[in-house]
Structure 1
Amino acid sequence: MKWHHVQENWFAFFDAILDKWPEADEAELEEIDGDQRAFIAYIAELTEQEVSEAREEIRDWLTGELPSDVVMDPRHDDHSINLSAKYLPEGEDESDDDARYGDD
């Protein structure tokens, strides 16, 4: 994925960011609001790395999958749904009907 995917869909990436950097704070992520330089500086501080090391870690992270909220392509739907399973509570099926959440 490219940074513009992250920047344009910042809030959709929160779960993926918190999965990679669990010590990150959502309130601070909200303030960063997709600003790449601010995110790199934040990750460097958070992980106690040099900025160049944090930049490389983020570059590696960007080689991962786009969150399903970002890719709106029917051909990608099944793949995205299957990948979303890692964010679901244990025992919940990623293919369950979400009607009870108002998501038809």
Structure 2
Amino acid sequence: MKWRHVQENWPAFYEAIADKWPEIDEAELDEIDGDQRAFIAYLAEVTGQETDEVRDELREWLAGEIPSDVVMDPIHDNHSIALSAKYVPEGEDEYANDDRFGGDDED
């Protein structure tokens, strides 16, 4: 994954961040708001590691896949829907109701 994925879906990554760095405080993550430099500085402070060590650890973490709970988060989902607009015929709204394809609650 790329940092922009994290930044664009910042709150959705809180759980994945806490899994990797249990020392974090969610209120501090709110303040950081996806700023990578601020996040690295914060991690260095709470973990007691050097900034370069934290940067390397973050790089390794980013080499992984986007966690499935983030992919399923409504914020990320809406972003995916917006990206799908290029596949929707002109004049049709990508957020429009899709009842014609059948309801999810039907057996």
TM-score band by shorter chain is: 0.5 to 0.7
- CA-atom RMSD in angstroms: 1.5
Secondary structure at the aligned position of 2:5 is classed as: helix
Amino acid at match of 1:58: L
Q: Does residue 11 in structure 1 map to residue 8 in structure 2? A: no
Separation (CA, whole Å) in 2 of partners of 1:64 and 1:18 = 15
Q: CA deviation at 1:43?
A: 0.7
Secondary structure at the aligned position of 2:63 is classed as: coil
Q: Residue 65 of structure 1 aligns with which residue? A: 65
Q: Does residue 25 in structure 1 map to residue 25 in structure 2? A: yes
Amino acid at match of 1:23: E
Separation (CA, whole Å) in 1 of partners of 2:35 and 2:58 = 13
TM-score between the two structures when normalised by the length of structure 1: 0.65
Amino acid at match of 1:40: I
Separation (CA, whole Å) in 2 of partners of 1:54 and 1:23 = 13
Q: Residue 102 of structure 1 aligns with which residue? A: none
Q: CA deviation at 1:64?
A: 1.8
Give unpaired runs (5+ residues) of structure 1.
74-104
Identical counterparts, % of pairs:
70
Q: Residue 83 of structure 2 aligns with which residue? A: none
Separation (CA, whole Å) in 1 of partners of 2:39 and 2:15 = 15
The structure with the larger Rg is 2
Alignment coverage as a number of residue pairs:
73
User: Equivalent residues in 2 for 1:50-89 (5 A)?
Assistant: 50-68=50-68, 69-70=70-71, 72=77
Give unpaired runs (5+ residues) of structure 2.
81-107
Q: Residue 42 of structure 2 aligns with which residue? A: 42
Q: CA deviation at 1:29?
A: 0.6
TM-score between the two structures when normalised by the length of structure 2: 0.63
